[in-house]
Structure formats: C-alpha cells, structure tokens
Chains A and B, each alone.
Chain A
Amino acid sequence: MTTTDAPPAGPPPAGKRRIGDAVFAGLARGSGYLILLILAGVAAFLIIQAWPSLSANTVSFLGSREWEANTRENPAFGVAALAFGTVLAAAIALVIATPVAIGVALFIVYYADSRLASPLGYLVDLLAAIPSVVYGLWGIGFLAPQLVPVYEALTRYLGWIPLFAGPASNSARTMLTAGIVLAVMILPIITAMSRDVFKQVPQGHREAALAMGATRWEMIRLAVLPFGKSGVVGGAMLGLGRALGETMAVAMILSPALVISFALLKSGNQTIAAHIALQYPEATGYGVSALIAAGLVLFAITLAVNMSARYVVARGSKESR
C-alpha cells in the first residue's frame, strides 16, 4: 500500500485510494473466498475419510442396499436404499408443501385483509423457527397415532395403487408420515419465497388482466403465476434441499429398514441423514468411514439440487425482464 506517498506530478489520478475502502474490500473479498474454502474443505474431508472404506468395499457402493460396514475386513455396504429413501421422503414433502405454500402465499398477498395478512406471514415464518427435534416429537407422539386409522382406510380402499399397498404399519412410522412432517418443515421457505415474488408482480400486469374482465383468480393465472413461477420453483428447490438433509425428525419418525419400496404406508425405508445419525454411535471398524461415504452422497445430491435451484431462478429472472 502506497497511499501515503506524495502525489505524482501531472493530472491527478482518477480515483484516490482510501485506506477504509481497501480494508473493507479486503474483508469482503476474504469472506467470499472463505466460503469457497469451507466448501472445498468439507468436500475434501468427506472424500479423504470415505476413501478407506470405499476402496475396501466388496460390493457396489452406489448399487447395493446392504450395510455390513462395522467390520475390520471385507465391509459390504451401499447407499442405494438410503439414497432412494432420502429422495422419496423429500419428494413427498415437496409434493405436499408446494401447492399449500403457493396457496398461503397467494392468500397473504392477494386475498387476505391487510390486518390478517401480516400476522399470518409472521406465523408462517415462525414455523421455520421450531427445532426439528420438536417436529420429530410431534410427528411420533401426535401425528403418527392420528394417521394409523387413515392409513388403514387408505390401504383398504386404495391399496391397488402401489403407493398405498398394504398392510399398513400399525405404528404409522412410515415414509408418508415422515414426508408430511418434512412438508410442514419446508412450508415456510417455499411460502416466503413465493410471497416475495408474488408481491413483485408489476401493477401494470395485474391491471392489464383486470381491465379485460378477468376475475381475481383469472388475474392470478394470467399475470401473477407466470411472473412468479421462477421464484416458486426456486423456493421449492431450497425446500427440497432442506428436506433432503433433515435428520432429527426423520430419524425419530421412521422405523428403518434398508429396502427400496414405493409403499408409503408400510414401515421401511430410511434416509441417508437419519441413517448416519442412528448408526454413528455404534460404528466400528470401517463403519465410520462408510457413513462418511454416505454423507458424501448426500452432499452431492444437496449440492446438485441447490445449484439447479439457482439456475432456475437466474434463468427465470432473466426471462421476465
């Protein structure tokens, strides 16, 4: 830094370097690089720690469902069932939460009285502040018992649909219950993002629709939803990211089994995050390394989801300009 040097002869430089600017720019740049460094560090840690078990694995890691990793030789483990369960639980949550979130956001922005709208928005945000262990307790202690008769009825009358194949679990600690709880947990983020983007719909677009005789719903369909699509998708992807990584609530609710099954009402299935949380305390031999390998897969899935969310949002905002 040469800010204290005497100014050179001739025309003054275009911009004077100020010490405060330089410090702030350095801090900001450093914080930016730090994020990259942390991300790279996590990835490196996962790969290095996972490597011993992956190289000793006797079955296909990505294709196998078994988990015999707590040995000192010849471990046999795979993430197929876990990855399947992770994606399935998150997908259920997304399918349930997205329409509800869009509805809540539309209600808050376009239907509710302003005296009702802001407390309601605040309450939805509050849902995000509830710790996941509380959601887990709620799921296992309240929701699951309520759902037992519902599931029995579903298997009896809709059992011909593979999703609802029986027999229903008599504790209701199943994939669908986990998915419902996850849906409640990701509702706030999807609602918040949808609400923000619905609020930004230009008045000109809304008036254009109304002026040609659109009802309020038609106005929303013509002007609000097309404009807000990218925001809703982005919110849904962020919610999906959260649902994929959610550990505690799922670990408490599911009664685990390493199967690949679309039967949402039978007990079985497991997610990566919950599996790691439950197995880690008892892991021996190659066990820890194998769990870290599963974590690496979760990291990759979550990263891919988040990046596609960014992509969708960026593309959408370019289109609507």
Chain B
Amino acid sequence: MAKRIDVSGLHVYYGDFLAVEDVSMTIEPRSVTAFIGSSGCGKSTFLRTLNRMHEVTPGAYAQGKVLIDDMDIYGPDIDPVTVRGQVGMVFQKANPFPTMSIYDNVIAGARLNSRRMSRSAADDLVEESLRGANLWEEVKDRLGKPGASLSGGQQQRLCIARATAVKPSVLLMDEPCSALDPISTLAIEDLIHKLKEDYTIVIVTHNMQQAARVSDRTAFFNLAGPGKPGKLIEMGETSQMFTRPEKKETENYITGRFG
C-alpha cells in the first residue's frame, strides 16, 4: 500500500512569486519523513504540492516532477481529485465536519468513491479506521454524537481516521500536533509509529524533539535570504541530522532551538 515519492526539480510559485526553489528528494515507503525549518521557509507549501492541495490557493502552481511510485502526479491527464485519493492529508487545526456525527465523519471520504456501500461494510470500515487511529475504544459508544463534541486531540485522531478510511498510500501531516497538549501529542506520535507500517508518512513540524522522536529521515528547509524562496538545505537520517549535520545552516538551526 505504501508508496515511494520521488521529487525532482520542483519549483512552487504563488503567482509571480517563487516560494520554493528546486527541491529534489526521495521519500521512502513505510517510513516517517519530517520536514523542519523556520516559519515561512516553504515546507508546508512544499508538502501541499505532494497532493496538489496548493492548487486550492488562487494563483499557486508548481513546476517539476513528483512521482508517486510510477504515477507522475503533474502528468497531463492526471486529475488532482485522483491524486488526493492516493495522498491523504491531516491539517494543523483538526477539522471534522461540524454537522456530521463521528461515524459520518469517518465514512465521508469513502462514501465519495463508493456510493453504494452496504451498511455492514460501512460499519466495518468505520471500526477499522477508528481502531487504526487509536480512537475506537474512546468513541465506540457514541458514534452518533457530533465530531465536534470530542476533545482537540480526539478530533485530530478522528481526522486521521477519516483520511485513512479513503485507503491512501501516503499520509501528509501539516503540523498535526501544534494545537494539542503534550498528552494528546504523545497519543498522535504513538499513532504515527503504528501508521508507518502501512503508509508513507510525511510530517511538517516545528517541534524538533518531535521530529527526532517520530521520524526516520529529516529534511531541513530554509530561506535563501529575506524575500528569497525557500530551499531544501539538507536531508538525511534523523539520527545523523540531529547529531552530525553536514551543513552549517542545519547545525545552527538545530542547536539554536535546542540550546
């Protein structure tokens, strides 16, 4: 299920403004890759190009190549809707649909693709997805309650369940814990460890301990200078990045924050 992502020579623009310059990287399947870097360095923008979500922003476009296994997601006859079915996303702010129950939230994406899902198949999928998101035991008695009635951390796990119910091969997470308390954060990190058995996971985080804890590989992004586009500075094994980074910039960033 998990797939490899191959990015080569990717530039991202907002209108005339070049936001991210010339990124090439390989993201391994069944692993967690963390993107770190200061605010505004383009890591979230770059993350969103991996499932073409950046196109939601008017004027945003990308040049270059992104292969997910063999599928060129910027290929001429590739529909972004198809790409997003393959590459799911979890956002900084938990965003369950407020008018829907927990059950309907989980099933919402899966219903789009197969309208005529039998009741039992839907029940199974909801249970499987919620178990996968370590949420089943907490909500199994109140699946009909609104998704917004859960705590922030539970809502975020609900969003993860909703994303995995579509059966993607890649899961993108854009600062999924930055609005959560430490205990909820821990629950999500445990979940990420479990999810990487089945998915390719890419996570943007501002929390470097988190990157160190959850990721196998880490990519450091930085601005080339004020008003200049963001660039990929260095990417490597997380253990090596946090102990012996090759570039001075990476070391400054990491030690500055840990200092």
Contact = CB atoms under 8 A, between A and B. Distances in A.
B84 interface: yes
A208 interface: yes
B102 interface: no
Interface in A167-223: 202, 204-215, 218, 222-223
Interface of B: 51, 53, 56, 58, 81-82, 84-85, 88-89, 91, 93, 95-100, 108-109, 112-113, 159, 162-163, 166
A99 interface: no
Interface in A301-321: 319-320
Nearest to A204: B95
Q: Which of B81, B162, B166 has the most CB of A within 10 A?
A: B81
A207 B91 contact: yes
A223 B97 contact: yes
Nearest to B90: A211
A114 B99 CA distance: 29
Contacts of B100: 226
A212 B99 contact: no
B85 A213 contact: yes
B84 A319 contact: no
Contacts of A212: 84-85, 88-89, 108-109, 112, 162-163, 166
B99 A213 contact: no
Given A218-B112, A222-B108, A211 B97 contact: no
Contact of A213 (B98, B159, B166): B166
7 contacts: A205-B95, A209-B97, A210-B56, A211-B84, A215-B81, A218-B112, A226-B99
Interface in A264-291: none
A113 to B, nearest CB: 10
Q: Which of B82, B96, B97, B100 has the most CB of A within 10 A?
A: B97
A223 B99 CA distance: 9
B97 A213 contact: no
A222 B108 CA distance: 8
A212 B112 CA distance: 9
Contacts of B81: 213-215
A227 interface: yes
B93 A204 contact: yes
Interface in A217-252: 218, 222-223, 226-227, 229
Contact of A211 (B53, B58, B82, B96): B53
B91 A204 contact: yes
Contacts of B98: 205, 226-227, 319-320
A213 B112 contact: yes
Nearest to A215: B81
Q: Which of A206, A209, A210, A226 has the most CB of B within 10 A?
A: A210
Given A211-B163, A212-B109, A227 B88 contact: no
B168 to A, nearest CB: 8
Nearest to B163: A212
Contact of A208 (B58, B82, B85, B95): B95
Contacts of A229: 99
Contacts of B88: 211-212
Contact of A210 (B53, B97, B113, B163): B53
